[in-house]
Amino acid sequence: MQLSDLSPLMARRQDGGLSFAHFRADPALVSLQWPDDVLEQFLFDHGDNAAFVHDYGGIDLLQVTWRLETIPASDFVGMPTGATDAGCIENYAADPVYWVNVRPPEVGRHWEDHGTWLRPPLLIDQRLLDPADSGLQVLEGRTRVGVLRGRLREQLRVAPHHQAWVGRL
């Protein structure tokens, strides 16, 4: 199953204002057995986004297993994102205070209190895109990772480790 196979579901989501509860209950998604947070951030929020389809449309979604993992802050410093969004993480990193301040207040409080994001981003093993590659790539959460990089650069509070959903073969 690839993103293009979910086009009818994505069209229903757009046309009828399909809620996430109804979206996740769709028979097309039952076989994925992904955590709700991953389903929502990846497929519900971005499953028909042209950039996502371009970058991740070749992935066999049934082959991906998601786990919440703890990742060192330093691993996020050079972590890439999809080719169509190259450079966007650096744009967010340029002004991390701004990107936190335009979010709900609890986001900023969480950064100040815990030195991390409120909601774990999605990362994928690059071997899902090219078996010859290695390492992790930011799938969703480019703003969050940009804020982390910017906070590190500006020597603002950053926890040494961060939770992220990681998709692997």
Instruction: For residues 151 and 35, give the distance between their C-alpha atoms in angstroms, rounded to a whole number.
Output: 29
User: Per residue in 95-112, pLDDT tens?
Assistant: 999 999 999 999 999 999
Per-residue pLDDT of the chain (169 residues; tens, 9 = 90+): 998 888 888 877 776 677 888 888 888 898 898 999 999 999 988 888 888 889 999 999 999 999 999 999 999 999 999 999 999 999 999 999 999 999 999 999 999 999 999 999 999 999 999 998 999 999 999 999 999 999 999 999 999 999 999 999 9
Whole-prediction pTM: 0.93
**If you ran DSSP here, which 8-state letter would residue 66 be given?**
E
pLDDT tens readout for residues 76-96: 999 999 999 999 999 999 999
Those residues whose C-beta lies under 8 Å from the C-beta of residue 150, and which sit 6 or more positions away, are 92, 93, 94, 95, 96, 97, 99, 156
- Displacement of CA 148 from its chain's centroid (Å): 14
